Copies of this chain bind each other. A is one copy, B any other.
Amino acid sequence: MSTTISLETMGESLSRLRERRPLVHNITNFVVMNFTANALLALGASPAMVHAPEEVQAFVAISGALVVNIGTLDSAWVMSMSLAARQAVATGIPWTLDPVGAGATAFRTRATLDLLGLAPNVLRANASEILAIAGTSGHMPKGVDATISSTHALEAARHLARANRTIVAVTGAVDYVIGADGGVALEGGSPMSQLVTGTGCAATACVGAFLAVEKDALLAAASALAVFKAAAAMAEPSGAAGPGSFQSALLDALHRVSPADLAEHVALRRL
């Protein structure tokens, strides 16, 4: 695994992201498009949502990273996702997959496995989805929420990382970012994140933004999740009023979170 991974190198990635302001091409779900675009803008990236088969390949070519999220998939959108992912791989643009609700239906699991076959640089999911993809789930997924702890998906994540030669990020109370030969655990954040739709999806988009400025995919994914956890912790006092206030405060925090905040709000553990 990366020998340079630390909260300090993550902070350097964050500074680099804000200097370069990478264009992040998202093919994502209808529910979270607005929040995702606002999260990327707040973080310091430049978001675009583009899905037409006539232009996804051309748009990948001008982007720093591609993010694919299947939340409100249908067959036409899956085709666009596939076109875009193939183009990304062919031209060396890093891409990230968020398999929302994998395991909930056969159609969704099939789409996930097909996209996973296109070699994403990072797979970001919750524990239910990781178990479903690894085929080791004894749990019936409940919609698109994680109802089991990320720790229970750690072995499945290791398996997927090796089998697919990708970085696997499982998020929850503890976030795990796993590569072929090691990984990290991140602690911090806020339980309020569970009460706002799209926080996981926005975190995936932030992984994309970091991949545009950091070639080490494990460091990029860990940086994005650490920044997201720090921002959630900083937003938490607003969560006392409820999830509506927390949502606004999370965007505010993504804008002001600094490299120094990572050390203050996130604990990093090597695995």
CB distance from A154 to the nearest CB of B (A): 24
Cross-chain contact B72 with A42 (CB below 8 angstroms):
no
CB distance from A108 to the nearest CB of B (A): 6
Cross-chain contact A74 with B52 (CB below 8 angstroms):
yes
Q: Which of A33-41, A87-95, A156-164, A173-181 contacts its partner? A: A33-41
The answer to whether A195 and B34 touch (CB under 8 A), given A54-B74, A74-B54, is: no
Cross-chain contact A244 with B42 (CB below 8 angstroms):
yes
CB distance from A11 to the nearest CB of B (A): 19
List residues of chain B with CB within 8 A of the CB of A248. 244-245, 247-248
Cross-chain contact B23 with A62 (CB below 8 angstroms):
no
Q: How many positions in chain A have a CB within 8 Å of any CB in the partner chain?
A: 62
- Please state the number of chain copies in the assembly: 3
A75 to B42, CA, bound (A): 31
Residue A249, interface by CB 8 Å: yes
Cross-chain contact B71 with A49 (CB below 8 angstroms):
yes
A51 to B74, CA, bound (A): 7
A142 to B20, CA, bound (A): 12
Chain A residues near B (Cβ < 8 Å): 23, 29-35, 37-38, 41-42, 46-55, 58-59, 62-63, 71-75, 101, 104-108, 140, 142-145, 194-198, 241-245, 247-256
Of chain B, the residue at the smallest CB distance from A42 is B243
List residues of chain B with CB within 8 A of the CB of A47. 143, 197
A74 to B76, CA, bound (A): 11
Cross-chain contact A104 with B62 (CB below 8 angstroms):
yes
**9 pairs of A and B residues whose beta carbons are closest in the complex:** A242-B252, A244-B251, A244-B248, A37-B197, A52-B74, A55-B107, A55-B105, A54-B107, A48-B143
